[in-house]
Chain A
Amino acid sequence: MLEIAKEAARAAALNPDAATPAITPLPPATRFALRMRPETATEIGSVAGFQLDLPINRASLGPRLAARLGPNEWLLIAEDGETEAIEAEIASALGERFHALVDISHRNVGLSVRGAQAADMLNAGCPLDLSAAAFPSGFATRTLLGKAEIVLIREDDAPTYRVECWRSFGPYVHGYLLEAARDFDGG
C-alpha cells in the first residue's frame, strides 16, 4: 500500500452534512468498472469477494458490492481505501483471462435514499417501475433521474436505494431528490 494523500486533503463533491432522514450523501468508496466476457464470469463465479455470476441487473450486496449492469459490465463498490488491495486480488485471481479493471472511485458519487417514500421520490425523475415486485432488493440498473444518468441499486426492503452518478451530476441528482422530497414535507 502506497502513501496516499499525506499532504492533500480530500474534498467530496457532495456535502455530507446536507443529509435528510431520507436522502444522505454517502462517504467516499472504492469503485471499479470491471469488464469481462460473460463466459469468464460464469467460469470464475466471483473474484475478490465480488460475486459476478449474477443475472444482468442484479447485485450481490454487502461490503463488497457487485452490480451487473450489462452482459460484460460490473460496477464494484467497496470501502474507501481498498483500491490497491482489490486491484491486486483481482489481478491475481484473473491472471491471463481478458478483462478490464478501471478505478472509478472518484468518478462516481453515491447517495442513499431510504424510507417509505423513497420509491416515490426516485420516481419523480426515474421512469422505472420501482415496486417491490418489479424492482426488489438486489436489483440494480443504469437508468435516468431527470436529465442525469444514474445507477440505481436496491439494497434492502426498507427500502434503501443506492444512487450512483458521475461526480459533476451529483449536485443535480441530490438537488432533484431533495426537491422531490418536498412533496412529502421534506421527507
Chain B
Amino acid sequence: MAGRNRLPRGGRVDRSKPVSIAFNGRTLTGFAGDTVGSLLIAHDIHFVGRSFKYHRPRGFLSHGSDEPNALLSVDRGPGKIDPNNRATVAEAREGLVTHSQNHWPSLEFDIGAINDVLSPVFVAGFYYKTFMWPRRFWDSVYEPKIRAAAGLGRAPSEPDADRYANRHAHCDVLVVGAGPAGLAVALAASQTGKRVILADEQAEMGGTLLHDRTSIIDGKPAQDWVAEALAELRVRGNVTLLPRTTAFGYYNHNHIALAERITDHLADAPAHLPRERLWQVRAAEVVLATGAHERPLVFADNDRPGILLAESVRAFINRYAVAPGRRIVFVTNGASAYAAALDATDAGLDVTLVDIRPESDCGPEPAALRAKGVTALTGHTVLAATGTRRVTGLAVAPVSPEGKIGARKILAADCVGMSGGWTPSVHLFSQSRGKLRFDPALDAFVPDQPVQATRSAGAANGRYNLAEILAEGFAAGSAAAGDGATRTFAATPTPTGFLPVRVLPTDADPARIKAFIDFQNDVTAKDIHLAVREGFESVEHVKRYTTTGMATDQGKSSNMNALGLVAGILDKPLPAVGTTTFRPPYTPVTFGTLIGPSRGPLFDPARKTPIHGWAEEQGAHFEDVGLWKRAWYFPRGDEDMREAVARECAAVREHVGIFDASTLGKIEVVGPDAAEFMNRIYINGWLKLEPGRCRYGLMLKEDGYILDDGVVARLAPDRFHVTTTTGGAPRVLAHMEDYLQTEWPELDVFLTSTTEQFAVIAVQGPKARDLIAPLVTGIDLANDAFPHMAVRTGFVCGVPTRLFRVSFTGELGFEINVPADYGRAVWEAIFARGAAFGLTPYGTETMHVLRAERGFVIIGQETDGTVTPDDLGLGGMIAKAKPDFVGKRSLARPDLVAPGRKQLVGILADDPTLLLDEGAQIVADRDQPIPIHALGHVTSSYWSPACDRSIALALVEGGRERIGSEVYVTTPSSFTKATVTAPSFFDAEGKRVHA
C-alpha cells in the first residue's frame, strides 16, 4: 500500500519499484524516487518532529535542502546511525529505519512540550538574563543542565562503520546547480571543449523543472528538455556530472568543496564504495546557478504541521505524486503560488487561494485560477492557523490597503501552501567574499561584484522568468568558457508579480502570538521585536541575541523575513540594516566527509625506523616523538617500566646496551663554504674542526634562545654530517635553508636531508668496542686511533658505514650509521654477538635517565624557547672571536645578561626515594605569603640506578649561586625539601667516554 495520499498518476517516482521504510516503528511503503519526506506525506504523516526550543509539533516546511523542521534520525545499520537528516533530502530506500527526534517519552506525548506553555519565560536572551546568580551555580548547575537540554538529535555512540573518500579535481568551469540555469550554463560551457563539472545536490538533475508540468522550452515540455540536455551532457567527454553533490564551501582561489553522497540511497551498496566523497575542486571559473528559496509568511502558529511552502506543495504533487492534503489553502503575496494552486487543482484537490495583495495589484493570475472554479480571495490576510498536531484551518480576514482588518472567517484546510516571495540563494557567492546588492524590486539581496572568477545565473542572480534564466545561464556558461556565444530560448513566461510583506497584518495582540520567523531555532517575530527594543539594532547583533538564522539551515527560509522585520521596526531601508555573512557549510556535512580517509592508520603517517619491527618482536613499548614511533623500553617478563629502565640503565653502565637512534635528524652540508656556513649557524667554531672529528653544536634563533643541538661530524673539508634532535629535524633544515637562501646566498653550500638515508645503531657501554670490533672492517677502533668525538668511514658487516664515536650516555659509545635497508640486519648481527657481553637493548626512557645522570640537556625539556646557552651553563661554547652567528647580537640584550636568570641546576630531594614531578615549582621559602615567588621549575626527574636515588634537573633563578642551598619543591599535596646541586650526578669529570 503506497499511502492514501499517493496520487493515481504522474510524478517521477517509479511505481514498479516499491520500497519500504520504517518510521517510529511503523513500516511504510513508497516508491523508488521518493524522499523519506514524500513517502511519509503519501501516508498522510506530517507531524514528524518536535521543535528545538518549545518542543512544538512540526511537519515539513519545504521539499528540499532548506528544510528546517523535518529532521530525523536515520539508521542504516550498526555504526551507521546519524541524527538530523532532513527527511526531504534523505532518499527512501528499502530497509531504511527512521525516527523522529527531540521528544520524550514519545513524539505524541512529550514532556518538553511544557516549554511551549512556559514560553513567556523563554524569551530571547533568556540564558543571559536568568542564570546570573548565584555566580557559583553557573559551573555546577546551570551550564551542565543547559548543555544537557541543548542540541538536537543524539550523537551516535558507535564508531562510524562507513568509509569516506577524498578527491581533488580541476576544471575550467564548475557549475553549481543543475536547474534550468545550470543546465544551460553547462551546455554552453562544454560545447567549447573545456572541462566542465556540473554538481547538483539532488538525486536527479533538473531543479525546479522536475516539478514543472506546464512549461514549454523550445517547443518541448520542460522535463523532456531536461532529459535531452542531460543526455547531451552525458555524451560530452569533457563533462563530469555529479548528482547528489552539494557545493558547501567556497574558498580562496576558486577552491570549492563539494560533498558527494554515494551509497546512502542504495539498499545494497557495493562494499568497495565510500559512503561519501569530499571533492576539492579548483576551478578556473565558477558559475553559481543555485536557485532561490521561497520565504514563509509570518502569522500566528504558521509552524503547524501541514503548513508548507507553496512551491513545496507543488513539488510534492508534481514530482512525487503525493497530495500533502486534500483541502489546501494557498496563501501568498506573489504570483508564483498561483502555479502551485493550478497544479493542485488539476490533481483533483480542493483548493482555495488567499492573496494579501489587493485585487488591483494582482495581475491576471486570480482570474485564471477562478476560471478553474477555485476561490481566490485577494486583499485578505491570515490571522492565525488552527490545529495543533496538524493544521485544521486558517483564520482569514479582509485587509484594507491601510491595514484595517475586517471580519474573520475560518477556511477549513488540512494543508496550507504559503509563499512570501523568493530569496536568491547567494550563500556560496557570499562565501566567495562577493558583495551583495539589495534589489528593491525583488526585495532581496542579489550578487553584485564578484571577488573571484565567479558568475551567478538564473534565480540565484534574481532572474525568475524561465526564458531569461535559460538565456542568462547560456551566456554565463559560454563567457566562463571564454566564448562569447549567446542564444535565446523560447519558454513559457513565468508569472513574477510580488508585494513584500514582513508580518501579516493581524488584529491580535502581537505579544500573545507565536508567528515564527526561524523555524529551526524557534525564533518568533516577537523575539525580533524584543531584541530591537533592548537595543540590538545591528542585524549581526539581533542574529546572535535571538539566534535567528543560526541553525543548521543557515536561515535559508528565515533570513529575509528577519532582516525585513528589523528594518521595519527601525524604520530604516533594508540595505541600511545590512545582511549577515554566510559561512560554510551551505548545508550540514558529515564529519566523515571532512575527515575522508584520515582515520586509523591513515590519520597521520606513523614513522617507523628500519629497526622498529625488531623492537616490536621483542615486546618493546613505544612512545610517540612527533610522528615517529620510538622504542620506549623493553620490559622482560612482567617488569614494569621502572624495573625495565633500571635494568637497562645498569646494563649500559656495567656492560653494553644497544639503542635505535635512527630518528635523529641528519643534514648533509656540502660545499666549499660549508665550514663558514656552520660557523654562522652555530654558536661554536667550526673552521678548525678537522675532518674525521666531531663536535657538539648548539644553534640559536635570531632572538638568542636555543633552537636545537646535536653532534656534527666533519667528513671532509667541504662536507659535514649534521645531526639534530628527532623532533627538530624539519625545523632545523628550514632554519638553515632560510638563512642560506635569504641572508647568505653568496655562500657555496647546499643542504640535503639524510635523516632517513641512515639507520643509526647506538652501542653504548664499557664493552661497546669489544662487542663491535669483529664486525667492523676498514676502521682502526683503538682508543688512540679512534678517540672520543671522532668519525670514520668503513664497513660493518660488509655494509658501508659512517661510524661515530660519540656518547649521550656518558659511557664509551659508538653510533653506527648504515644505509637504512641494512639497519635491521646489522642490528641483528650485533645483537647475535651480544649475549656474551650482556648486551641489552634499551629505549628512550633509559637514554633519558643516562643522559640526565651526566647532566646532558634535551632540547624541549631543559629548554622552552626562552633559554640561552649561559642559562644551561654552556656559555663557554660560544666562540667569542666569531664576528657573527645567528642570535649573537640578541645575547647582549639587557634581559639576557641580567643577573637572576634561570639557570640549569640539579635538584636532590631530601627524601632520596621521592621522585619529583616534572614541572613542579621550586620556591625558596614555603612559608612565604601567597602568592609565593617561584624560583623555577623541575625540567627532568628520574630514578637513577647509578646513584640509587631520585635525581632531577631544574631551571632556577640564579641557580648556580644557589648550589648547596635548600629549596622547597611542590608535590601534589604540599612541598618537599630539596637541595640545589650541580647539574651532573655521575662521572662528573666525564672520564668514562674516553675508555
Distance in angstroms from B314 CB to nearest chain A CB is 38
Interface of chain A: mostly helix, strand, loop or mixed: loop
- Please report the C-alpha to C-alpha distance between residue A108 and residue B825 in the assembled complex, in whole angstroms: 19
What is the distance, in angstroms, from B606's C-beta to the closest C-beta of chain A?
7
Contact with A along B598-611 (1 / 0, CB 8 A): 10011011111110
Min CB distance, A11 to chain B, in Å?
5
User: Contact check: which of A3, A7, A8, A123 meets B168 at CB < 8 Å?
Assistant: A123
Within 8 A of A (CB), among B187-202: 195
Q: B798 within 8 Å of A by Cβ?
A: yes
Would you call B597 and A146 a contact (CB within 8 A)? yes
- Name B828's closest neighbour in chain A (CB-CB): A8
Interface size, chain B (Cβ < 8 Å)? 57
Assembly CA distance A8 to B750 (angstroms): 32
Tell me if A88 is interfacial: C-beta within 8 Å of chain B.
no
- Bound CA–CA A146/B167 (angstroms): 10
Residue A105 interfacial (CB < 8 Å)? yes
Question: Are B756 and A127 in contact, with the CB atoms below 8 A?
Answer: no
- Given A120-B167, A168-B607, A5 contacting B754 (CB threshold 8 A): no
A100-B752, A106-B758, A123-B167 given as contacts; is B821 within 8 A of A172 (CB)?
Answer: no
Task: Name A51-89 residues within 8 Å CB distance of B.
Answer: 72
- Neighbouring A residues of B169 by C-beta, 8 Å: 123
Q: Are B798 and A172 in contact (CB under 8 A)?
A: no
Segment of A17-25, A152-160, A179-187 in the binding face: A179-187
Report the Cα distance A166→B277, complex, angstroms. Answer: 28
For residues 161 through 176 of chain B, which have their beta carbon under 8 Å from a beta carbon of chain A? 163, 165-170
Return the CB mask of A149-180 against B: 1 if under 8 Å, else 0: 00000000000000000111101110110011
Interface residues on A, range: 35 or more
A104 touches B752 (CB 8 A): yes
| CB–CB A12/B795 < 8 A | no
Residues of B within 8 A of A12 (CB): 821
Determine the distance from Cα of A148 to Cα of B601 in the docked complex, in whole angstroms: 13
Q: Which residues on the A side are within 8 Å of B597 (C-beta)?
A: 124-125, 146, 176, 179-180
If A4-B798, A8-B797 touch, does A102 touch B604 (CB 8 Å cutoff)? no
Q: How many Å lie between the Cα of A176 and that of B168 in the bound state? A: 14
B819: shortest Cβ distance to chain A, in Å?
A: 4
B750-770 interface bits toward A, Cβ cutoff 8 Å, 1 = contact, 0 = none? 101111111000000000000
Find out whether the CB atom of B798 lies under 8 angstroms from the CB atom of A124. no
Query: Is there a chain A Cβ closer than 8 Å to B280's Cβ?
Result: yes
- Measured in the bound complex, the distance between the Cα atoms of B824 and A9 in whole Å is 8
Residues of B within 8 A of A123 (CB): 167-169
The answer to whether A7 touches B272 (Cβ under 8 A) is no
A11 to B824, CA, bound (A): 7
A43 at the interface (CB under 8 A from B): no
Does B274 make an interface contact (CB < 8 A)? Answer: yes
How far is the CB of A171 from the nearest CB of chain B, in Å? 7
Q: Are B602 and A124 in contact (CB under 8 A)?
A: no
Q: What are the residues of chain A within 8 A of B272 when measuring CB–CB?
A: 182-186
- A128 contacts chain B at the CB level, 8 A cutoff: yes
Known: A10-B825, A107-B753, A128-B168. A102 touches B797 (CB 8 A): no
Instruction: Across the interface, name the chain A residue whose C-beta is closest to B278.
Output: A124
* B273 in the interface (beta carbon within 8 A): yes
- Contacts A102-B752, A172-B602 known; 20 new A-B pairs at CB < 8 A: A2-B800, A5-B822, A6-B798, A7-B798, A7-B799, A8-B798, A11-B822, A11-B824, A98-B671, A102-B668, A102-B754, A104-B757, A107-B820, A124-B168, A127-B168, A169-B607, A171-B605, A182-B163, A183-B165, A183-B277
B residues contacting A by CB (< 8 A) are 163, 165-170, 195, 270, 272-274, 277, 280, 282, 597-598, 601-602, 604-610, 627-628, 668, 670-672, 748-750, 752-758, 795, 797-800, 818-826, 829
Which residues of A are interface residues toward B (Cβ below 8 A)?
Answer: 2-13, 28, 33, 35, 72, 98-108, 120, 123-129, 131, 134, 146-148, 166-169, 171-173, 175-176, 179-180, 182-186
| 30 pairs of residues in contact across A and B, judged by CB atoms under 8 Å | A2-B800, A3-B798, A4-B799, A4-B800, A5-B797, A7-B829, A8-B826, A10-B822, A11-B823, A11-B824, A100-B668, A103-B757, A104-B754, A106-B756, A106-B757, A107-B755, A107-B757, A107-B820, A108-B756, A120-B167, A123-B167, A123-B169, A126-B168, A127-B282, A147-B604, A168-B605, A168-B609, A169-B605, A183-B277, A185-B272
